[in-house]
Chains A and B, each alone.
Chain A
């Protein structure tokens, strides 16, 4: 596989995405809202009774941090689902497939194009979140809660893996259906397992500590490989060209 070819596809897709304002807003808005909303919740919660107790703050902050695994699982959906189906809608897939490029190079290019804005928006949101949270909780905790190892693992391992898994699911969905909406709906299902992990952490089934996060990262990495294999195997150019109407 030639990475340069994939990058050509990705650069073109990024150019198209930047001009599609609705897609861009969807990617930017969710992390921005969450990054501002959670600090607001912390600020307003229990204001009359002196705010959230300092002992409970780290539990809450580590729970909120897991949202930066859920966010990158959600936001690539509009871009990734548009990737293959969008080419089909614009009928640009046939000339693209006629060029000397492999299926793997096309899919990798499409994945890079969905990954970069998603992860950039997640990181930007996380930066806002950490700064706001630290400024709001420093007086009570007496130290800066962020950055910490947990957030480091989330941002450097889990968030990219979650984004990659979501993109792969979306690419698989895009290859199998013929309209963008269905592809988006199927691709969006990827965030459900992460919400499940979050809920399991909240109700005490698992503890979202550093070790658990590393185990989750290892499982996700294995899934990324499996889904990449499935995504290339399910991308059948002949079927896409002859059966999509």
Chain B
């Protein structure tokens, strides 16, 4: 659905985005993670045909960005929620959506149905005649999402949709994104909320001008290694340590009868460890696997580029 190859954007001497190559499948939620200034918004703007690319190619549903004729077709099949929601404060929620529905050539019936559908889904139907300027941040964000969906786009670009929202509003937005996934919408989500990305994204790209890594949340977590098994025993003795050494494991440390063992694949290796300890007369109280998190992967990758 979205294909980018060596996509690059330069502003004068400044390279905002360099050599991005990625693919987003239809119906997938693709999370774009990166620190401020990493080029997330620039990428979305290029993909939405708002700004030009410097080099490389990108296709949205087989339409090529940078091609004038295709740009108009791309804009018809995408919806954008920018980082600044940009509503018309002087217009009511209904009028804001109706205006965009008209721009997207929706029929009157289509507009009425979709406005009602999305405002009801996002809990704003009762506020339809209220000026958007009086809305809270969360309500504005929801209205901006409804606006981006008014023409039922195939692809939705969301630039930091939950930033500055209270936890309840953020959850509503996240749940709504998951609802959209059920409708087979392709969603491109810019965020620096790691927890959010981990919870709702099928695939994640970590960006810091260049694409540092791409994969499923699990793949990224596993990509930096560093997983550990922590075993609490009644008592650690030399017999147990010698038994473990025979297994050719990673680094083993012992502290307060707690063994911490570095492992590549704890799920495969833990049974042998447990057998060895029990065989050496040890009494196990607990076994815990500590994996590297998406946060670990993210921080490692971002720090590496500094």
Contact = CB atoms under 8 A, between A and B. Distances in A.
B91 interface: yes
A82 to B, nearest CB: 11
Interface string A206-228: 00000000000000000000000
How many A residues are at the interface, by size bracket?
A: 20 to 34
Contacts, number: 77
Nearest to B85: A91
B84 interface: yes
Contact of A16 (B52, B78, B88): B88
Given A5-B103, A8-B99, A98 B50 contact: yes
Contacts of A9: 103
B217 interface: no
B48 interface: yes
A224 to B, nearest CB: 26
Which residue among B45, B52, B75, B86 has the maximum number of chain A CB atoms within 10 Å of its CB? Answer: B86
A12 B88 CA distance: 9
B72 A100 contact: yes
B147 interface: yes
B90 interface: yes
B60 interface: no
B88 A92 contact: yes
B58 to A, nearest CB: 15
A237 interface: yes
A90 B82 contact: no
Contact of B45 (A15, A91, A93, A241): A241
A241 B49 CA distance: 12
B135 interface: no
Given A8-B103, A15-B91, A242 B11 contact: yes
Contacts of B89: 90
Interface in B82-114: 82, 84-91, 95, 99-100, 102-105
B106 to A, nearest CB: 11
A238 B51 CA distance: 5
Nearest to B51: A238
A19 interface: yes
Interface of B: 11, 45, 48-52, 72-73, 75-76, 78, 80-82, 84-91, 95, 99-100, 102-105, 144, 147-148
